[in-house]
Amino acid sequence: MELMYQSTRSEGTKVTASQAILKGLAGDGGLFVPESIPALDISLETVSKMSYKETAYEVMKLFFTDFTEEELKDCIGKAYDDKFDTKEIAPLAEKAGVYYLELFHGATIAFKDMALSILPHLLVTSAKKNNIKNEIVILTATSGDTGKAALAGFADVKGTKIIVFYPKNGVSRIQERQMVTQKGSNTHVIGITGNFDDAQSGVKAMFNNKELAQVMESKGYQFSSANSINIGRLVPQVVYYVYSYAKLLADGAVKEGEPVNFVVPTGNFGNILAAYYAKNMGIPVGKLICASNENKVLFDFFKTGTYDKNREFILTSSPSMDILVSSNLERLVFKIAGEDAKATADMMDALSNNGKYVITDSMKEQLKDFESGWAGENQTFAEIRRVYNETGYVMDTHTAVASAVYHDYKERTGDNTVTVIASTASPYKFGTSVMGAIDSKYKDMDDFLLIDELSKVSKTNIPKAVEEIRQAPVLHTTVCETQDMQKSVEKILGI
């Protein structure tokens, strides 16, 4: 039976999976969600004997029901190939009784690769299925990692262009260098003078601009999104939570049916929402622990039931979490509002107009699956140092936030459930912060000079993604004011 998708903000026409992937954002500004979350239709014991690709097919076939088996397996095969530097794709590293799910073994050494390796193939297949003749323009805002992963995924993919906006002074030097050295005749990278939320708001405004859409249509273009708001980004992320549970089962770390906690460093809420979807598919998940940095808007939401973005925006050493508007939370709000599209739309309007909204007590009651915590900069650095000193394992700043929040949670609750921490980026991406945390003697060294030191300290090979950008020429130098984002897009497209 075909699974259809609906907007979180209206009772409008339902669309197929391929149509939802193509559109990215619903016409009313809402996000596409499946009519229901399908249950996994094979046993976890069976999944425990499967490869990552095989697991991906078993999960995605339930969500993307208008794709044929051949189409879906082709997309999966092209995505999870030798661009990953480990056969497991998403290995589990056990350190001092905690499991780190390493999601950074792809081409751009961050977890976004897990979904952005497959999204271009899903999009191109979706365009063919729907007889789309227009060139697809991927329009994306990034807080650091999505941009490079999307650029790498879409570079020179026929029938597409990709335009990435990032906060000029809000990403690490390695992150920026990865983006501005990106090759590909269809790739465009633009720094903005604002922060990530400004970039994201500008992108959403263009998606919702009907006049712009008409002009683009007349010129043979249409927008789609590579941000985590695209359902084609979210569903592939569900896979690695299913896979990691199955691996724990295969290794005898848990018995079938025994719950596992997941701790996820969280900014735009997509990664932890994928874990929530996995739980709703039937994966035995105990607590979903939402870890925030000093931009703790999500922590406050889970504690109070009020989402309030009216606060200082803080630049931290974990920039992918420097977000005050967590777009994917809308999907969870829709679910706990009883799939009431009007109530969801009203709350999103309140967020847009007043910077905040409040959920009802009955909605708050449905958040029992979630715990939340936050870690400041000093705590983050202390956690990197503690884990390294105790185990020799080196983690990046985002993973350290999650690790610190988990240890606080465990101390507070005494919960000894087997726990997996989503390790969302390679420490090589944040060398200055990571090495400075391990030893203050490294604090004033340049990111690129620290790479060799980090390799020695962590006893790991320098990732190809980092080696490649050391000497790569800068190909993208455009910077614009936030209010000029649309003008920049129009210039690129010649409209």
Known catalytic residues are 112
Residue 473 has what DSSP assignment? P
Tell me which residue has tokens 């460093």. 265
CA nearest neighbour of 176 among 144, 136, 137, 139 = 144
CA nearest neighbour of 266 among 370, 385, 395 = 370
The separation between CA 366 and the C-alpha centre of its own chain, rounded to angstroms, equals 23
Q: How far apart are CA 60 and CA 66, in angstroms?
A: 11
CB-based contact 172:145 (threshold 8 Å): no
Torsion angle in degrees (nearest 10) through CA of 178, 163, 144, 206: 170
Q: 90 is written with which tokens?
A: 């998403």
Helices 377-391, 397-413: axis angle to 10 degrees equals 90
CA nearest neighbour of 204 among 225, 235, 233, 219 = 225
Q: How far apart are CA 215 and CA 104, in angstroms?
A: 39
| CA separation, residue 74 to residues 68, 69, 259, 487 (Å) | 10, 8, 33, 37
Q: 234 is written with which tokens?
A: 């979210």
Q: How far apart are CA 401 and CA 170, in angstroms?
A: 18
Strands 306-308 and 356-358: antiparallel
Q: How far apart are CA 407 and CA 402, in angstroms?
A: 9
Contacts of residue 334, defined as CB under 8 A and 6 or more positions apart, other chains included, come to 8, 31, 33, 340, 341, 344
Give the SS3 label for residue 251: coil
Tell me which residue has tokens 């900069």. 377
**b vs e for 389-424, b when ≥16 Cβ sit within 10 Å of the residue's Cβ?**
eeeebbbbbbbbbbbbbbbbbbeeeeeeebbbbbbb
Contacts of residue 210, defined as CB under 8 A and 6 or more positions apart, other chains included, come to none
